[in-house]
């Protein structure tokens, strides 16, 4: 068996700082996919709080070569702008005049984001203000003004939402909009949208609430007309509060498993009336609001993020929109510097390597020791991956080294894309904002993404350190379920 010096050096470096080895056999069901995702499965968000004229996007420069390069690295991708402030702002095409600049976004603001979305090949989803009310119903006047402006400019809207977490309005705005009224509002909005030239196929998306907190709210929303209005069902999900989050939460497999029950709750409510409507996590991250300081934008955040993508795909969800691309503590790129943060690189690798069909995977130990997911590999000209290839991704949440053996694929090449913190696994994970791919630190080169090369091994067993994660690709797997991609 051929083992290169670089492979030996890499594995040695990976395991030099931890003790104890767990041996795991992993097998994949190769005949039939359990679910299918598409290239837009992973999207990103920006918060509506960036919209007001006074905010100036909090320094986000849509014309920056660096920002555009990072955005193109995620393409194709949905961008959703929504959030609490979305129900507190008004569109004004030109000058905002006497209106409070903290509650207005202008045509210039709209032009900036739409030009950016077009240039980086993203698709735009926007949350409209449902608190524009008249006689107890949603007043579409301002929304019509926005749509007219959008049409005149020739911009494309992939989707529209109406209201954000309306179940929290009593505490946030001292206003109550009942779930049944919101369902009727979104039903009427759907009729308006479909009768407006240019928006016949624009997705109506909702209800944009935390279903674990508000399952009865969601059920009433659907019963009142929301079921006939929504083209995508969206729920919001966070694991912890940023005020109580602890470093150990990010590698806590019991916390990871709460997502399973959360999705089951959402599926249970939605499938009663909408058995075939795609379901998304329409706003999601680690800790809310804003992210846990010193954790949600560091290497350790990748455990919850990668596990979320694996669970969501396996359970049949069709979209996961990451809160958020820029501005807060759980962002993918840094404030002001626009430097890519660890979860940015993780997301890029996911988009490059993970294909549509989702495969069932089994490990010889329980999921508190290793979290394992498998897909068909995304066909790639840059990597030379062809239909039939398999991509697996793993999270190792304990301190133990883990040796993973693949009895199905003996004597085959394995391409390894393993992410570790640059400063070593014994450092405090809380402080690590730079990540290495196969021990090479990841940085932009002249505002261009690096090649993100794997290392290739012929080993049937590969060993990795605890508290780390990454992807393995089997280019010669020739799996039947992946042959028709």
| Cβ neighbours, 10 Å, residue 29 | 14
**CA atoms in the 13 A half-sphere facing the CB of 295:** 23
CA angle, residues 55, 61, 64, in degrees to nearest 5: 175
Catalytic residue among 161, 283, 324, 328: 283
What do you get for the CA distance between the two ends of the chain, in Å?
31
Cβ atoms 375, 313 nearer than 8 A: yes
Within 8 A by CB and 6+ apart from 303, the residues are 250, 251, 256, 395, 397, 469
Question: Which of 165, 200, 324, 451 is labelled catalytic?
Answer: 165
Query: In whole angstroms, what is the distance from residue 59 CA to residue 61 CA?
Result: 6
Q: Which residue has the tokens 């944009």?
A: 208
Alpha-carbon span 166 to 221, nearest angstrom = 11
Instruction: Output the furthest CA–CA distance in the chain (Å, rounded).
Output: 77
Cα–Cα distance for residue pair 139/134, rounded to 1 Å? 6
Q: What is the distance between the alpha carbons of residues 178 and 169, in angstroms, rounded to a whole number?
A: 10
SS3 53: helix
Share of the chain residues as helix, strand and coil, in percent rounded to the nearest 5:
35, 30, 40
Whether 208 contacts 260, CB under 8 Å = no
The Cα–Cα gap between 53 and 39 comes to: 33
311's enclosing H/E stretch is helix 301-314
CA 391 – CA 359 distance, rounded (Å): 10
Written as six digits, the tokens of 62 are 């849509």
Mark whether 165 is an active-site residue.
Answer: yes
Instruction: Verify cis geometry, omega within 30 degrees of 0, for the bond prior to 289.
Output: yes
Q: Both tokens of residue 368?
A: 């508190």
* Cβ neighbourhood burial of 61 (10 Å; 0-12, 13-18, 19+): middle
Give per-residue burial for 31-58: e unless 16+ CB within 10 Å, then b. Answer: eebbbebeebbbbbbbbbbbbbbebebe
- Gyration radius of the chain over CA positions: 23
Query: What's the CA gap between 150 and 91, in Å, rounded?
Result: 11
Phi, psi of 88 (to 5 degrees): -135, 10
Show the tokens assigned to 379: 């066909």
Q: Residues with catalytic annotation?
A: 165, 283
């Amino acid at each position: 068996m051929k083992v290169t010096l670089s492979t030996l050096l890499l594995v040695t470096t990976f395991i030099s700082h931890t003790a104890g080895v767990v041996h795991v056999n992993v097998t994949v069901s190769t005949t039939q996919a359990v679910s299918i995702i598409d290239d837009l499965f992973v999207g990103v968000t920006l918060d509506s709080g960036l919209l007001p004229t006074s905010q100036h996007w909090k320094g986000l420069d849509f014309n920056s070569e660096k920002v555009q390069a990072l955005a193109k690295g995620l393409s194709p991708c949905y961008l959703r702008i929504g959030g609490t402030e979305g129900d507190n702002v008004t569109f004004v095409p030109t000058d905002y005049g006497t209106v409070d600049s903290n509650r207005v976004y202008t045509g210039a603001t709209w032009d900036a984001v739409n030009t950016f979305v077009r240039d980086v090949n993203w698709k735009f989803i926007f949350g409209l203000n449902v608190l524009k009310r008249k006689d107890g119903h949603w007043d579409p006047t301002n929304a019509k003004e926005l749509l007219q402006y959008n049409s005149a400019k020739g911009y494309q809207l992939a989707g529209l939402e109406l209201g954000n977490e309306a179940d929290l309005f009593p505490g946030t705005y001292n206003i109550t909009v009942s779930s049944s009224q919101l369902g009727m509002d979104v039903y009427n909005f759907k009729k308006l949208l479909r009768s407006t030239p240019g928006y016949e196929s624009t997705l109506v998306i909702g209800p944009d609430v935390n279903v674990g907190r508000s399952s009865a709210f969601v059920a009433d929303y659907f019963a009142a007309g929301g079921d006939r209005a929504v083209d995508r069902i969206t729920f919001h999900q966070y694991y912890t509060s940023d005020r109580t989050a602890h470093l150990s939460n990010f590698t806590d497999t019991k916390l990871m498993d709460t997502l399973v029950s959360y999705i089951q709750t959402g599926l249970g409510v939605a499938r009663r009336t909408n058995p075939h409507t795609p379901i998304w996590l329409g706003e999601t991250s680690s800790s809310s609001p804003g992210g846990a300081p010193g954790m949600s934008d560091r290497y350790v955040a990748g455990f919850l993020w990668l596990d979320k993508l694996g669970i969501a795909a396996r359970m049949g969800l069709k979209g996961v929109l990451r809160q958020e691309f820029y501005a807060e503590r759980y962002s993918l790129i840094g404030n002001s510097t626009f430097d890519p943060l660890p979860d940015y690189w993780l997301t890029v690798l996911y988009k490059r390597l993970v294909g549509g069909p989702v495969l069932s995977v089994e490990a010889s130990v329980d999921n508190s020791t290793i979290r394992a997911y498998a897909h068909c590999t995304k066909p790639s000209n840059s990597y030379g991956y062809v239909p039939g290839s398999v991509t697996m991704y793993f999270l190792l949440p304990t301190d133990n080294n883990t040796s993973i053996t693949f009895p199905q694929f003996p004597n085959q090449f394995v391409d390894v894309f393993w992410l570790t913190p640059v400063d070593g696994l014994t450092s405090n994970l809380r402080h690590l904002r730079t990540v290495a791919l196969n021990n090479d630190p990841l940085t932009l080169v002249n505002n261009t993404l690096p090649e993100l090369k794997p290392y290739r091994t012929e080993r049937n067993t590969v060993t990795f350190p605890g508290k780390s994660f990454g992807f393995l690709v089997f280019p010669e797997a020739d799996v039947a379920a992946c042959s028709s991609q």
